Structure 1
Amino acid sequence: MKLSVKFVLIMILGILIFGCKEKVEVEEVKIDLLNDEFPEAKQEISMTLDSIAQSVKDGNLDKLISFHAYSPKFTEFKNGEVRNDGTENEKFERGVFGSVTEILKFDMNDVKIAVYDNVANVTLHTDFHLKFGEDLAVVNEQMTLLFLDTENGWRIVHEHHSPLNQPEEE
């Protein structure tokens, strides 16, 4: 009986050794950063944009600020001025959106979301009608938001705002 147990163990060992020599080919999936659409990420970013708009409408400044990933790398361009950092961006957003007394319109038009794996470039045109007391401010801009997929979700790491030229009425 001991001989048959040894024989079985040798057979199992042989099968394991020869079985391990078999090469398993793993096909590498190529990611085309320029052309792949990343639909799940686009949906997440779209939902993030909706949440950003809702935080403004609700006047929830802390929530609005939470959609930014402030770090030494954060940058912002607006109104043709020199580049701002995260501290200046937060101060500006709290000051402006904290002073809004009524939101008549807060539309983000012609939104394009381009995802490059864990980075996304979002371009859009704003059509914001904001009241500051009795004063109405209409904000029609071209806006670019650069997002990074962080452990807290998609967060803004760069903003760029410039005036949107309106077609002349004839």
Structure 2
Amino acid sequence: MKTKFSIALFMVFGLLIIGCKQQEEKIEVKEVEVDHLNDQFPDAQREVKLTMDSIAQSAREGDLDKLISFHAYGPKFTEFKNGEVRNGGEESEKFERGTFGAVTEVVKFDLNDMKIAVYGKVANVTLHTDFHLKFGENLAVVNEQMTLLFLKTKKGWRIVHEHHSTLNQE
């Protein structure tokens, strides 16, 4: 008798559960629109600025490996400089190591009129350089317009393109 009662009770509860209409909870998800052209992304701008500060500091200290680590050298890396044809990561790294490796003193390493524009995981940095670098007794003054294109990676913001051109001075 207890078994029949248990089965009947179980069936009644089952019918109640199945028969009850469960009210679906409607969750409205509002998609936040990101305006990559006009939004400023201040947190990412600060991250890129800190990266630029670290790049400058590694150049001042002559830490070539750290300087190189801010580049994402690979098959997509490109660089323009001195009006020459585009080169890739291998040529760029060789030039950086050869040039900065030969610097005997960094007299001045200013990054002027810097503008950081972030477009999600990509950032474009434009600036004017005022570098005074000694190579032995010889002083080289480098005044250029520079554009650095950064990509946000697992390792942080890394350079994927560089463009250097002479800055016309009055």
Alignment TM-score, normalising by the size of structure 2: 0.89
- Secondary structure of the 2:134 match is strand
Deviation of 1:7 after TM superposition, in Å, equals 9.7
Q: Which residue of 2 is the match for residue 86 of structure 1? A: 89
Deviation of 1:52 after TM superposition, in Å, equals 0.3
Unpaired runs of at least 5, structure 1 = none
Does residue 111 of structure 2 align to residue 108 of structure 1?
yes
Q: Which residue of 1 is the match for residue 50 of structure 2? A: 47
- Secondary structure of the 2:57 match is helix
Equivalence map 1:52-131=2 (5 Å): 52-131=55-134
Does residue 166 of structure 2 align to residue 163 of structure 1?
yes
Query: What one-letter code is carried by the residue in structure 2 that aligns with 1:46?
Result: K
- Aligned-pair identity in percent equals 68
Deviation of 1:24 after TM superposition, in Å, equals 1.1
CA distance in 1, matches of 2:17, 2:108: 74
Q: Compared with structure 1, are the counterparts of its residues 34 and 11 closer, same or farther at alpha carbon in structure 2 (3 Å cutoff)?
A: farther
Unpaired runs of at least 5, structure 2 = none
- Which 4+ stretches in 1 moved above 4 angstroms? 5-17
Alignment TM-score, normalising by the size of structure 1: 0.89
Q: Compared with structure 1, are the counterparts of its residues 10 and 148 closer, same or farther at alpha carbon in structure 2 (3 Å cutoff)?
A: same
Q: Compared with structure 1, are the counterparts of its residues 65 and 2 closer, same or farther at alpha carbon in structure 2 (3 Å cutoff)?
A: same
Q: Compared with structure 1, are the counterparts of its residues 14 and 85 closer, same or farther at alpha carbon in structure 2 (3 Å cutoff)?
A: same
Across the two proteins, how many residue pairs are aligned to each other? 166
Q: Compared with structure 1, are the counterparts of its residues 13 and 101 closer, same or farther at alpha carbon in structure 2 (3 Å cutoff)?
A: farther
Q: Compared with structure 1, are the counterparts of its residues 123 and 22 closer, same or farther at alpha carbon in structure 2 (3 Å cutoff)?
A: same
**Cα RMSD between the aligned structures?**
2.2
CA distance in 2, matches of 1:16, 1:146: 59
- Secondary structure of the 1:22 match is coil
Q: Which residue of 1 is the match for residue 22 of structure 2? A: 18
- Secondary structure of the 2:87 match is coil
Deviation of 1:106 after TM superposition, in Å, equals 0.3
CA distance in 1, matches of 2:137, 2:155: 38
Deviation of 1:22 after TM superposition, in Å, equals 2.8
Larger radius of gyration: 2
